[in-house]
Structure 1
Amino acid sequence: MSEPKTSAPPKRRGPMGGPMHGPMHMPGEKPKDFSGTLKKLLQYLGKYKFRIFLVLVFAVASTVFMILGPKILGNATTEIFNGLLKKVSGTGQGIDFAHVGQTLLFLLTIYIISAAFNYLQGWMMTGVTMETAYRMRREIAQKIQCLPFSYYDTTTNGEVLSRLTNDVDTISQSLNQSLTQIITSAAQLVGILVMMFSINWQMSLAALCIVPLSAVVILLVVKHSQKYFKQQQDYLGHVNGHIEEMYGSHVVVRAFNGEARNEAAFSEYNEKLYHSAWKSQFLSGLMQPVMMLIGNIGFVVTCILGAWFAVHGAITVGDIQAFTQYVRQFTQPIQQVANISNVLQSTTAAAERVFAFLSEAEEPADSENAMTINCTDKPDTELNIHVAGSVQFAHVHFGYTPEKTIIHDFCAVVQPGQRVAIVGPTGAGKTTMVKLLMRFYDVSEGAILVDGYDIRSFQRNELRRLFGMVLQDTWLYNASIRDNIRYGRQDATEEQILEAARSAQVDHFVRTLPGGYEMLLNEEATNVSQGQKQLLTIARAFLADPQILILDEATSSVDTRTEILIQKAMDNLLKGRTSFIIAHRLSTIRDADLILVMDHGDIVEQGTHEALLAKGGFYANLYNSQFVGRAEA
């Protein structure tokens, strides 16, 4: 059984009694540091500054050539209009089609060059954004390996996966559009203004009156939408976490009739996601029609002014056409900036979550003088030693939180090759001691020594090479049975894998399965029984051939006959190795060389099975209680 009282810090509880999936945000919350996160994102992109610079150059060039189009087309229109007037009035030969054709051919060339630059910048920017997403995912995956175990005790898998998938995808997709659009829109605004003023400055000033009105609309929409984009990303993580947790254990949910509670909890998260997403998308979608309305007002005003100037001969027909096109185009970059501002809210919210995850405190690094384990025949050195397997717990104190100590002055000495059983009621701290031994957590006070060396003086990966673990909660991954056994030792030969399987009583049942050792286990390994999963993890420990073995209720999921066979194999495995056996069925640890009896984080008794029974204390009462109920039945 697990030990919820002391073997793990308490998880936060959700509204339906289930665990919460990340921090719950109150309505109206804004990103903690919008400008700071945006600055971090730009710094993150600094690695690609040369390519981004080329992207910007190509974007500007494409925009410049595109802006020239209406002016050139206006010249062609003016030529046609003047030719018609000359023909009607009889003062000329009419339209100069050769000149008009050359103008249109030049216009086509301009548009082709603009399209080529646009293609180049799009191709390069896609490469930058995909590499950024790849780099982010790689760094998140690396971060996952570096975070302390305490982080995963208070954070669900769905929250972490949300950073790796949803947030990175949001950043990637929006960067691919936003960065070039910002430059393109800026270039369009400047270029269009230059062309408009070159045609008529009075009409240009009239057209510019829409800018402050547009700016007010943009600021209002951004102000109200920013908080909803942040909430949308947060609640999306809550939904993913809930789905991953509940549907990953759907058999248990169904067995305990938890469907209604599960659906109610999901509905609550989904309702919050719906409202935040609806508000953010509505405000984002509201931008375009409002900006179109403002643009149309400006267009009508410039058309009236253009007609008045044309009547008075201050402007040509072609220039009016070009100017109206520029006015239409002038509202487009403003609309794009408005849309980008909304996209940036979503991007910044996602980036804030990613950078917050990447900035989480990592497991303390090993010291530069950390020792390694000598697995060769070379002589020991100061930093490279052989380990015989003695373990000493020297006045160990520990608490998952500083204000609550759960292990109080734990002291014990284990000789090399001894078989040590750790027993006690649920919540006594048995599994916690194993976590400390493996340095999943560091002790608060005191020390744990291996062969007289403080385990904190070893490199963590070297220390963990000493141990083999078989836990009550089995873990197998989506791969073949052979690969799952080989996980304990990647360089193992086929014969070594088969030998470990035979020793763990695995070989016989594997050969009865379709595909044998090549059979693929599904995601939850539900295509083999719980007992078979336990046997496979035991085979993995056999193959690892550790110097110190940890068994946490390793035979709890197998039948009595299989348990006897495994126990015989274990006897061979445990010879010459130090072993720690956590057991609730006390009948399985009678032959232990030393039994440590724990209660509320303290060792209350220690000795052999016979000595502790003769003492008639806590262990004797615990042992006898397992048989009273059977006798009465």
Structure 2
Amino acid sequence: MTTKALAPSRKRDDEIEKKVADLLPKDDENSLGKAYDPRLMRRLLAFIGPYKRTMTAAIVLMIIGTVLSVVSPWVIGQAIDVGIKAQSLDSLYTWTIIFAVVSLGEWLSNRSRIHLLAIVGTGVVADVRSALFRHLQRLSLNFYNRYSVGRLMSRLISDVDVLQDFVTWSITGLTRATFSLVGITIAMLLLNWKLALVTFAVLPIMVIVTNYWRVRVRQAYRSTRERIALINGYLNESISGIRVTKSFVREAANGEHFDDLNRSYFNANTSAARLAATFFPAVDFMGSLATALVVGVGGWLVLGDNLTPGVLVAFVLYVSRFFDPILELAQRYNTFQSTMASSERMFALLDTEPDMLDAPNAQALPAVRGHVMFDHVSFGYADGEPVLRDVTLEAQPGETIALVGETGAGKSTIIRLLGRFFDVTDGAVLVDGHDIREVTQASLRQQLGIVLQDTFLFGGSITENIRYGRLDASDDDVVAAAKAVGAHKFIERMPEGYATDVGENGVNLSVGQRQILSFARALLADPRLLILDEATSSVDTTTERQIQAALDTLMRGRTSFVIAHRLSTITNASKIVVLDRGQISEMGTHAELLARRGRYYNLYTMQWSKGNGTIGE
């Protein structure tokens, strides 16, 4: 990075912070929340429940390790007084061996405790992440229209990772720190209450310094989290849109914007580091100050024969350990706050109920013949904004219904309602006489085959993508489906044939190839109802001819709803439905609608006559 980027003027820094502040979320997504919320803690402990025995063993080991840690200075003191001062070599050997055993026991207990807690922490993270993922699969499309992918990824990754640190370190860490602090305090008072009071004299200063750090570090850590979230989001957006960036020569402008985000993150980290540079050396200084006071007062007591050297050495060791649990308690306070905030966001997501639920008495839809009825259907994605108005449409088994109309006329909405991705506002959608709201969603969608305009392929082989809708299909079935839609030839030319990895979202294939594979996927699933949503819009004319025969085979004997701009996929439909502003303006065959010289005729003459072969753009 250039010197200018590393050290801009204070005025430039202020400008950057103002610009970044406008980009930060205005809700409480990154708020720290309460340091402790018993309601959230109970829900977190429910995930720890399956690991109760492992957690109990870790706590027992923590208690053993802490007790041994508290005993160690006293053992050293005894070695000095009973062995060295008394000039007893046997006693010195005995206490040395005792100290070695105590140290070994402390090491073994701490090692075993950390190992067990790592198992619990990793297990809890895996369980929570699985619960979130399974819940996301249940939520309706309406939820995903409102919730950004970035926020969901943050819940599944960042917030869940906070739990691992909490379970692995904070739960027993706080207990251990508290237990150690109490044990060391009792040991110090029992050894010499006067020196204990000398040590406690620095505590008021320690409390002031800790409170100063605790209050300010909250905002510092929050700022760093907010800004790294902005950086990650912008990186994701920039990489995903790199083609657009290069097309419009935006590299330099994007680089400057990223520099601003990076600089803001640098400033936030610098502020947090400055606080750490103040607090931790201050704690070390408090410990050194307390040690100096103890050595001074204790030395005076030793010279006056009111204190043994062994007790003084043990006391100095206790003082060096006294401030460690205080420091850990201060650090874990912020961990608790982050855990509570992350837990609140995660459980809010888990508590989100799907908009689309099966009715309590929903039955499985039996094998359908393919009779579909839209009975006076009205629908709107938002209140007061109707998309469909009193639509009545009937499709007999085996018929092909072509939906035509300008953008926003309601074509895609009709097929979304048929798949029950949304529920009608008024009226009903019936399949073989069954109101689809009264059957299970799974039994309905298992009999639907959907090919969308924006074809999505999953990372994996071509075979795995074709088999996606029918996992029990054999390799021969996969090849047969590919041959039927004209995909077999280009698949054979791929480096590894059917085993070729398509890449993320099919990046290793052309748009047309991805769409042809989506036809093979739909054909292999053998649905009774077929939906083609702009399915040939990205296929060139030559490729379209190759798959047109396969489409005819695919639609034969199935009730099909086709949304298409290309006239060739519409003219042979059993019925063409012309939509205008959410209402059916015309309905009939291609020849009938042309003879009427109505809206369909106008669309035909405006678009087809231009020679581009499209209608209803």
Residue in 1 that maps onto 2:25: 24
Contact 1:158–1:240, Cα closer than 8 Å, also in 2: no
Residue in 1 that maps onto 2:69: 66
1:409 Cα deviation from its structure 2 partner: 2.1
Do the aligned partners of residues 359 and 525 (structure 1) sit closer, same or farther apart at CA in structure 2, a change above 3 Å counting? Answer: same
Residue in 2 that maps onto 1:453: 434
Residue in 1 that maps onto 2:608: 627
Residue in 2 that maps onto 1:225: 217
Residue in 2 that maps onto 1:255: 247
Do the aligned partners of residues 26 and 422 (structure 1) sit closer, same or farther apart at CA in structure 2, a change above 3 Å counting? Answer: closer
1:283 Cα deviation from its structure 2 partner: 3.6
Percentage identity across paired residues of the two chains = 34
Q: Deviations over 1:151-181 (max 9, x none)?
A: 2123332322222222222321343122222
1:578-589 equivalence runs, <5 A:
578-589=559-570
Do the aligned partners of residues 30 and 551 (structure 1) sit closer, same or farther apart at CA in structure 2, a change above 3 Å counting? Answer: closer
Do the aligned partners of residues 519 and 59 (structure 1) sit closer, same or farther apart at CA in structure 2, a change above 3 Å counting? Answer: same
Matching residue's letter, 1:462: S
Matching residue's letter, 1:63: T
Residue in 1 that maps onto 2:3: none
Contact 1:31–1:349, Cα closer than 8 Å, also in 2: yes
Aligned with 1:202 (options 182, 194, 200): 194
Contact 2:33–2:341, Cα closer than 8 Å, also in 1: no
Residue in 1 that maps onto 2:156: 164
1:138-287 equivalence runs, <5 A:
138-259=130-251, 262-263=254-255, 266=258, 270=262, 273-280=265-272, 282-284=274-276, 286-287=278-279
Two-structure CA RMSD over aligned residues (Å): 2.7
Contact 1:230–1:349, Cα closer than 8 Å, also in 2: no
Contact 1:81–1:317, Cα closer than 8 Å, also in 2: no
Residue in 2 that maps onto 1:353: 345
Instruction: Name the SS for the 1:369 alignment partner.
Output: coil
1:294 aligns with 2:295: no
Do the aligned partners of residues 33 and 198 (structure 1) sit closer, same or farther apart at CA in structure 2, a change above 3 Å counting? Answer: closer
Q: Deviations over 1:543-577 (max 9, x none)?
A: 11111111112112222122122111211221111
Residue in 1 that maps onto 2:298: 306
Aligned with 2:481 (options 500, 503, 509): 500
Mapped partners of 1:424, 1:343: distance in 2: 56
Contact 2:375–2:428, Cα closer than 8 Å, also in 1: yes
Residue in 1 that maps onto 2:308: 316
1:332 Cα deviation from its structure 2 partner: 1.0
Between stretches 211-220 and 413-422, larger displacement belongs to 211-220
Instruction: Name the SS for the 1:597 alignment partner.
Output: strand
Contact 1:159–1:241, Cα closer than 8 Å, also in 2: no
1:520 aligns with 2:492: no
Residue in 1 that maps onto 2:575: 594
Matching residue's letter, 1:598: L
Q: Deviations over 1:293-351 (max 9, x none)?
A: 22222222222221222232221111111111111110111111112223333333333
Residue in 2 that maps onto 1:550: 531
Mapped partners of 1:21, 1:391: distance in 2: 50
Contact 2:461–2:502, Cα closer than 8 Å, also in 1: yes
Contact 1:230–1:345, Cα closer than 8 Å, also in 2: no
Do the aligned partners of residues 32 and 319 (structure 1) sit closer, same or farther apart at CA in structure 2, a change above 3 Å counting? Answer: closer
1:35 Cα deviation from its structure 2 partner: 2.6
Contact 1:196–1:323, Cα closer than 8 Å, also in 2: yes
1:469 Cα deviation from its structure 2 partner: 1.0
Q: Deviations over 1:429-461 (max 9, x none)?
A: 211221111111112222111112111111111
Mapped partners of 2:167, 2:269: distance in 1: 20
TM-score by length of 1: 0.87
Instruction: Name the SS for the 2:243 alignment partner.
Output: helix
Matching residue's letter, 1:112: L
Instruction: Name the SS for the 2:291 alignment partner.
Output: helix
When the two structures are aligned, how many residues end up with a matched partner?
A: 591
1:54-93 equivalence runs, <5 A:
54-79=57-82, 82-83=85-86
Contact 1:424–1:597, Cα closer than 8 Å, also in 2: yes
Residue in 2 that maps onto 1:340: 332
Contact 1:596–1:603, Cα closer than 8 Å, also in 2: yes
Q: Deviations over 1:458-500 (max 9, x none)?
A: 1111100111111111111221111111112111122221211
Contact 2:419–2:444, Cα closer than 8 Å, also in 1: yes
Do the aligned partners of residues 261 and 540 (structure 1) sit closer, same or farther apart at CA in structure 2, a change above 3 Å counting? Answer: farther
Mapped partners of 1:190, 1:322: distance in 2: 17
Mapped partners of 1:619, 1:532: distance in 2: 31
Residue in 2 that maps onto 1:487: 468
Contact 2:142–2:355, Cα closer than 8 Å, also in 1: no
Q: Deviations over 1:5-60 (max 9, x none)?
A: xxxxxxxxxx9xxxx99981479973345432445434443443343232222111
Aligned with 2:51 (options 48, 53, 74): 48
TM-score by length of 2: 0.89
1:609 aligns with 2:590: yes
Residue in 1 that maps onto 2:358: 366
Structure 1 unaligned spans of 5+: 1-14, 84-94, 374-384
Aligned with 1:395 (options 373, 376, 380): 376
Mapped partners of 1:520, 1:282: distance in 2: 49
Mapped partners of 1:549, 1:486: distance in 2: 17
Q: Deviations over 1:93-129 (max 9, x none)?
A: xx22121111111111111112222122112111110
1:128 aligns with 2:104: no
Mapped partners of 2:254, 2:496: distance in 1: 37
Mapped partners of 2:379, 2:360: distance in 1: 25
